[in-house]
Amino acid sequence: MKKVFRLLAWIFTGLAAWRLYGDFSSSIGAGRDFRMKLAGEVWATFDRNSLLGLQPAIERYISPRLWEWVFLPVLETQLFPILVMVTIFFFIASAKRFQLR
């Protein structure tokens, strides 16, 4: 299991680096100040319809509060820090456990 977590950590490290490069190159290429894209903005570029269908599905079948308190803040957060946090989680999960003596 540790190898799987380590592999996932490296995959998310690559995704975070790719996102940072994409944000940097799009900002510089457009002649603007550096700006990181939001998670919802990146999702919308890949598949806008699934993003638009997510809100009513969560509000109707799970809980409206879950959308307001969990999903919406995550979608309004920049994607790079989210990827970094997931990377750190997987690196910690793949580390050797300390043994108590």
Q: State the average pLDDT for the chain.
A: 90
Query: Which bin fits 41, alpha (ψ -120 to 50), beta or left (φ > 0)?
Result: alpha
For 65-94, the pLDDT digits (tens) are: 999 999 999 999 999 999 999 999 999 988
pLDDT at position 100, please?
Answer: 45
Please give the Cα distance from 45 to 6 (Å, whole number).
Answer: 29
Give the pLDDT band of residue 28 (cuts 50, 70, 90). confident
- Confidence category of residue 18, pLDDT binned at 50, 70, 90: very high
Q: 62 pLDDT band (50/70/90 cuts)?
A: very high
Q: In the chain, what are the domain boundaries?
A: 1-36+79-95, 38-77
pLDDT band at 101 (very low <50, low <70, confident <90, very high): low
Task: Confirm if 8 and 90 have CB atoms less than 8 A apart.
Answer: yes
